[in-house]
Structure 1
Amino acid sequence: MKKLVLSAALALSLVSLSQAQIATPAASPAATVAQTVGLAKVTVDYSRPALKGRKMFSDQVPYGKVWRTGANMITKLTVSDEVMINNQKLAAGSYGIYTIPNANEWTIILNKDANAFGAFAYKQENDVMRFTVKPVRLATPAEFFTIDFTDFTPTTANLAMRWENTQVSIPVKHDPDARIMAQIQEQTAKPDANMGIYFAAADYYYQTNRDMKQALEWANKVVDKDKQYWTYYLRAKIAAKMGDCKAARTDAQQGLALAQKAGDDAYIKNHQQILSDCKM
């Protein structure tokens, strides 16, 4: 009977122990970084191991072998739209990022398996694309493995990975120009097109150096509908680009007075810049 009581007590103790949990910081904490490139959302989910005094590349992370690109689960890349990765098309979806580090060249691998734990189950036949990039040496060592986005333009960015003394970058591009132009043509042709549509269309034509006469036509509709310092600025900058400084100055002067009344420093400077550029 005594043995039965002891056995029951031991079993209860083991159950309690198995259910007990103590939350401590992860050795390689999970991280997510996301960036809109063009109109595509690019998201990376990964884990961030630390050096902790160890040598990584060529030692803990051997050269010439497939690496999970981080720790724990494989690093996952998700794109909301078709994008260009290193000038190659990549369909919308999620992909695993494997890499093969070497001293003078890294192989970047995008694989259909985005949910593997480590590189143990890596299958080359599931690769979607492979390409090589040149590593650069960091001036300041990175203690934690870090992925982020750098070198932005409206349609491009670099996906940078750095750790220890090494950084590699992956070019990402999403050029939505054709889609935007189709939307502009469709939306501005509607009889009930609103001021926001005309404003966006005029500004996009201005930003991309398209037909300024058409941009001005839309800007006229915007100002006729709503005389604000930001609508005057839209028309003023288009007129200035067309070389019509008289019209640009007239709009800039009206817009400046409204911006000063509203206390909007950014637009005050915008209007003042046009007046400066269009000195009579």
Structure 2
Amino acid sequence: MTDIAISYNRPVARGRELFGSLVRWGHIWHPGADSATTISFSKDVTIDGHALAAGRYSLWTIPDAPPKPWTVIFNRGVGGWHTNYPGESQDALRISVSSETGPHMETLTYYFPVVDADSAVLRLQWGTVIVPMKIKATQ
């Protein structure tokens, strides 16, 4: 069994236009508020087929307007503020993920709509934008 833990604070839309306005296309964005969001894995995993070692990472993105994919970044720099990206030299993994559209989610959330014996889908959702990532245990 692989344990996955996500620690984050939740910004609220409050009627604002989110992506392409509050969150600029093509710029590093931290999907959370206050302290940087972290995700940890108790064992090695793959994220959308790309290897990621067990450990704790801060989570960052570079959103892009559909149909262009988002870049999702797992960074070794943890414990920082959500506005201070630790830099590419600390990146453990960068993946391209196609965003989806869904019903409006007022408060940013991360959830697992699908969990199987050795895999799960993690979704980041805020407003009508969903960024899904397939996580698979490798051990």
TM range (shorter): over 0.9
Answer whether contact 2:44 2:138 (CA < 8 A) is retained: no
Quick one: which of 97, 101, 106 aligns to 1:133? Answer: 97
Q: Report the AA paired with residue 113 of structure 1.
A: G
In structure 1, what is the Cα distance between the partners aligned to 2:78 and 2:84? 13
**Which residue is equivalent to 1:188?**
none
**Which residue is equivalent to 2:125?**
162
Q: Report the AA paired with residue 51 of structure 2.
A: K
Q: Report the AA paired with residue 112 of structure 1.
A: R
Q: Report the AA paired with residue 131 of structure 1.
A: I
The structure with the largest alpha-carbon Rg is 1
Please tell me whether residue 79 in structure 1 is matched to residue 41 in structure 2: yes
Quick one: which of 77, 84, 87 aligns to 1:123? Answer: 87
Answer whether contact 1:67 1:100 (CA < 8 A) is retained: yes
**Which residue is equivalent to 1:95?**
57
Structure having the larger proportion of residues in strand: 2
- What is the deviation of 1:73? 1.2
Please tell me whether residue 147 in structure 1 is matched to residue 84 in structure 2: no
In structure 2, what is the Cα distance between the partners aligned to 1:61 and 1:121? 15
Pairs aligned (count): 137
In structure 1, what is the Cα distance between the partners aligned to 2:38 and 2:31? 9
Task: Note the residue ranges of structure 2 that are not aligned, 5 or more in a row.
Answer: none
Please tell me whether residue 173 in structure 1 is matched to residue 136 in structure 2: yes
Which digits, 9 at most, give the CA deviation of each residue in 1:25-48, with x for residues without a partner? xxxxxxxxxxxxxx1000000111
Question: What TM-score, normalized by structure 2, do the two folds share?
Answer: 0.93
| Percent pairwise identity | 28
Which fold has the larger relative contact order, with Cα–Cα distance below 8 Å and residues 6 or more apart in sequence?
2
In structure 2, what is the Cα distance between the partners aligned to 1:121 and 1:68? 8
Report runs of 4+ in structure 1 exceeding 3 Å deviation. none
Structure having the larger proportion of residues in helix: 1
Q: Secondary structure at the match of 1:151?
A: strand
